[in-house]
Amino acid sequence: MKLLVVTGPVDVAIDSVRRLTNRATGSTGWSIAAEASLRGHEGILLTSRPGELPGVGWSVEPFDDFNDLYIKLKISLGTYKPDVLVMAAAVCDYLVDGFIREEGGPLQAIHGKIDGHAPQLWLKLVPAPRLVDLSRSQWGFTGKLVVFKLESGVDLPTLLMRAETTRTRCDADIAVANLVETAKDQAWIGPNREGQYELVMRSELPSRLLDALDLPGKS
């Protein structure tokens, strides 16, 4: 089986120098890719953190920011044609659409680097396209799709409800649900054959996920 694993924080450019980012490290996607490689499956690791984690025996394709990932994901789905797409990247929900220097001032487009002399600065953020949704609806991916849902400050029923809502919306086969507060230790994978989400320890996540995808080791 051929896998495409997308991992790491997905930055959004503010200007030619500054960025919006998040705390993701890319280690989850890397561990999934490493387990799949050990099982004898080929793949591509599309990551914003090349060189920061050990090799996995796959081709590593770096991406720079949201716009770069948009292009490379679209191309990879069209040319590589993976059987499985694992969207483990922490994709920003918003893009920067200009800035305002003073309260009530006009919205200005960003060209180059914003100077640092304004006493205050407002950024206008607009919703970013959901890349995981585009993979099927616009880019024609028909294989198995894994999505990740990260939440904070909610109870378990809410987390699982939101994970299932996301999975259903983008027509994914499996969702992996995490809470920021416990993400280093555990996650939930689902739905299983009974339609339930199962608690797994973080160290077991790669193997349990590949088992759920019916990706055993090659004989």
Q: What is the pLDDT of residues 109-164, one digit of tens each?
A: 999 999 888 888 999 999 999 999 999 999 999 999 999 999 999 999 999 999 99
Q: What does pLDDT average to over the chain?
A: 94
- With 0-12 CB in 10 A as exposed, 13-18 as middle and 19+ as buried, what is 171? middle
> What is the total count of domains within the chain?
2
Residues 172 and 106 in one domain: no
pLDDT of residue 219 exceeding 70: no
Q: Could you tell me if 138 and 65 lie in one domain? A: yes
| Farthest CA pair distance, the chain | 66
Indicate the residue type of 7: T
Instruction: Determine the residue type at 160.
Output: L
Q: Are residues 153 and 120 in the same domain?
A: no
At residue 83, does pLDDT exceed 70? yes
Angle at 47 between CA 125 and CA 135, to 5 degrees: 65
Kindly report the pTM of this predicted structure: 0.94
- Reference 130, options 165, 154, 99; nearest CA is 165
Alpha helix (H) ranges present in the chain? 27-38, 66-79, 131-137, 156-169, 205-212
Mean pLDDT, rounded, for 98-105: 90
88 shares its domain with 101: no
Host domain of residue 80: 2-93+129-212
- Among 112, 127, 142, the domain-final residue is 127
- Are 122 and 187 within one domain? no
Q: Answer yes or no: do 178 and 192 share one domain.
A: yes
Q: Residue written as tokens 């960025």?
A: 19
Does one domain contain both 72 and 176?
yes
Rounded CA-CA distance 73/3 in Å is 13
CATH code (residue 163) = 3.40.50.10300
pLDDT band at 74 (very low <50, low <70, confident <90, very high): very high
What does the alpha-carbon distance between residue 192 and residue 178 come to, in Å, rounded to a whole number? 17
